[in-house]
Amino acid sequence: MEAVQAVRGMNDILPDQVGWWQEVERVARDVLERFGYREIRTPVPEKLDLFARSIGESTDIVEKEMYAFQDRNEDWIALRPEATASVVRAYIQHKLHADPGTQKFYQIGPMFRHERPQKGRYRQFHQIDAEVFGIDGPMIDAEIMHMLHLFLDRVGVTGVMLNINSLGCRNCRKAYREVLRDYLVSAGNDFCPDCLRRRDTNPLRVFDCKVERCQALIEGAPALIDYIDAECRAHFDAVRNYLEKLGTPYAVNPRMVRGLDYYVRTTFEVITDRLGSQNAIGGGGRYDGLVRDLGGPDVAAIGFAIGMERLILLLQQGREAPARVPPVFAAALGEAARSEAFLLVQELRRRGVEAEIDYEGRSLKAQMRRADKSGARYVVILGEDEINRGELQLRDMVEKTQRVVPLENAAGTIIDAAGHDRA
Ligand code: HAM
């Protein structure tokens, strides 16, 4: 019979790889919480409408990549393609804006986009997402990028670049949209059908097009950053100034518009040249106005998301997966000894030490081989003779020494030896 396979573009994360995920999440939580972010967990499915209203009807994500379906009540549901819209929805629904002061949230979890799978691009992928509500000023823009940079440094990523841009406010965008549309019209009708349509509906999205001839045609397009008003310009200059004071390296990339409609003013991406065409490790920006558009108060907001698969692919280029090694392995021969070893291993675990045992009653030689392969530092050896003498052998696999330990309070002695007592 043919075995069932996972859905295309959706990956299992197997135990020999999961160490990367645990480490990245641990560092992320540590850094985010230090900057005042609190974890939030929202559902994977949301009403389809939420994403159409926030990310934008004419974006690739909403037009082409959504996992959308009608449930048994015929309600339109989508698997979230990103986390920002969901966090905003929760923020409004639970009136989190009523709490005084700034609100900072983070979310770690799977997202879904029906893209063509390739290295670094999957249909289920994971993001570390951070969102801040209630701050207009440029200080938070710089802080969030500084935090992102610190996280990447702590987790051990090298060779990445922070690109920043300003998309101006909605007014600037309105003016620029006309300028861009005029340019696109003057560039002729050689654009792909998508871009021809977008020229009328949402010209900025032409910049997301991957078709080569479209890219060539927009090469000479005017840059948005040259059309932003004085206030937006001052905001952007202040962000840059703070980044410089913080020593966070960046480059201004006037071509970067990001693929989601909700952005205003500061946008940014972390780019690498080591992952082929999937070069964005993370990205984000301001989205003042979105909370109001989705039915909440008029609060400013900014955030970013990191793609965990891409981040881990980069980390894997530099080093081995972080290994998890049980410090103690118990090998026993004979029924009485096996029973004793079984009880000892459970006691070690109750007292906070990771310990392993051979459950199958194999030969001592086979058990020792397994102990060696497990990478355990200490091996407990128990046979009939040891039981009769009320002892066990404790072997230190690194020092290559072995000593006799009384069975009485053996767990305590082993814990002392291993320098562990995490009970
Ligand atoms: P985004 O640029 O669409 O932004 O996605 C952020 C990151 O998710 C990308 O830089 C990439 O690393 C990863 N990513 C996206 N699609 C895939 C995929 N198909 N396979 C693997 N990784 C992928 C957002 O999602 C915004 N919500 C970020 C944000 C938060 N803006 C404000 N707050």
DSSP class of 109:
E
Identify the domain containing residue 342 by its residue range: 328-418
Average pLDDT over residues 116-141: 97
What pLDDT, on a 0 to 100 scale, did the predictor assign at position 297?
96
Q: Whose CA is nearest to atom 14 of ligand 1?
A: 307
- Mutation test of ligand 1: which of 108, 111, 119 has the most ligand atoms closer than 8 Å to its C-beta? 111
- When mean pLDDT is compared over 28-32, 193-197, 394-398, the highest value belongs to 28-32
Same domain membership, residue 233 and residue 156: yes
What pLDDT, on a 0 to 100 scale, did the predictor assign at position 422?
46
CA–CA separation, 301 and 167 (whole Å): 15
What pLDDT, on a 0 to 100 scale, did the predictor assign at position 145?
98
CB atoms within 10 A of CB 254: 14
Same domain membership, residue 306 and residue 358: no
Q: Residue 223, exposed/middle/buried by CB under 10 A (0-12, 13-18, 19+)? A: middle
pLDDT in tens, 282-336: 999 999 999 999 999 999 999 999 999 999 999 999 888 777 777 899 999 999 9
Angle of helix 84-93 relative to helix 48-55, nearest 10 degrees, comes to 110
CB atoms within 10 A of CB 325: 10
pTM over 0.85: yes
Average pLDDT over residues 82-98: 97
Cα(129) to ligand 1 centroid in Å equals 9
Which of 289, 316, 343 is at the close of a domain?
A: 316
CA–CA separation, 402 and 294 (whole Å): 68
Same domain membership, residue 371 and residue 233: no
Angle of helix 335-350 relative to helix 410-418, nearest 10 degrees, comes to 60
102, pLDDT greater than 90: no
Same domain membership, residue 246 and residue 105: yes
Q: How many domains does the chain have?
A: 2
Q: Whose CA is nearest to atom 17 of ligand 1?
A: 121
Same domain membership, residue 371 and residue 302: no
Residue 214 placed within a domain: no
Convert 77-105 to b/e letters by CB count within 10 Å (16 or more is b).
Answer: bbbbbbbbbbbbbbbbeeebeeeeeebbb
Q: Whose CA is nearest to atom 21 of ligand 1?
A: 121
- When mean pLDDT is compared over 95-104, 118-127, 256-265, 321-330, the highest value belongs to 118-127
Which of 247, 281, 316 is at the close of a domain?
A: 316
Nearest ligand 1 atom to alpha carbon 305: 28
Residue 312 placed within a domain: yes
Same domain membership, residue 292 and residue 145: yes
pLDDT in tens, 208-229: 888 889 988 888 899 999 999 9
Cα(403) to ligand 1 centroid in Å equals 55
CATH number of domain containing 396: 3.40.50.800
Angle of helix 15-34 relative to helix 308-316, nearest 10 degrees, comes to 110
pLDDT in tens, 39-85: 999 999 999 999 999 999 989 999 999 999 999 999 999 999 999 99
Asked whether the CA dihedral 212, 266, 24, 123 is positive or negative, the reply is negative
Q: How far is CA 262 from CA 46, 235, 291, in A?
A: 18, 18, 10
Angle of helix 138-155 relative to helix 15-34, nearest 10 degrees, comes to 150
- Total residue length of the chain: 423
- Who lines ligand 1 at CB under 6 A? 82-84, 113, 115, 121-122, 125, 127, 129, 131, 259-260, 280-285, 287, 303-305, 307, 309-310
3-class state of residue 352 by DSSP: coil
Residue 183 placed within a domain: no
DSSP string of 147-160? Answer: HHHHHHHHHT--SE
Nearest ligand 1 atom to alpha carbon 280: 10
Q: Whose CA is nearest to atom 31 of ligand 1?
A: 284
Mean pLDDT over each residue of the chain, to the nearest integer: 93
Task: Kindly state the tokens that stand for 90.
Answer: 């929760």
Same domain membership, residue 41 and residue 64: yes
Band (423; pLDDT cuts 50, 70, 90): very low
What pLDDT, on a 0 to 100 scale, did the predictor assign at position 62?
94
Same domain membership, residue 278 and residue 404: no
Cα(302) to ligand 1 centroid in Å equals 14
Band (115; pLDDT cuts 50, 70, 90): very high
Residue 285 placed within a domain: yes
Nearest ligand 1 atom to alpha carbon 286: 32
Cα(371) to ligand 1 centroid in Å equals 42
Cα(391) to ligand 1 centroid in Å equals 58
DSSP class of 389:
H
Residue 190 placed within a domain: no
Same domain membership, residue 237 and residue 121: yes
Residue 217 placed within a domain: no
Same domain membership, residue 300 and residue 334: no
- Mutation test of ligand 1: which of 115, 127, 271 has the most ligand atoms closer than 8 Å to its C-beta? 127
Task: Kindly state the tokens that stand for 170.
Answer: 């909605």
Same domain membership, residue 253 and residue 130: yes
Q: In the chain, pLDDT over 70 holds for what percent of residues? A: 99
Helix ranges restricted to H, 247-352: 290-293, 308-316, 335-350
pLDDT in tens, 367-400: 999 998 888 999 999 999 999 999 999 999 989 9
Cα(282) to ligand 1 centroid in Å equals 6
Cα(397) to ligand 1 centroid in Å equals 45
Return the amino acid letter for 165.
N
421, pLDDT greater than 70: no
What pLDDT, on a 0 to 100 scale, did the predictor assign at position 249?
96
Average pLDDT over residues 6-23: 96
Cα(127) to ligand 1 centroid in Å equals 7
Lowest model confidence (mean pLDDT) among 231-235, 270-274, 362-366, 416-420 = 416-420
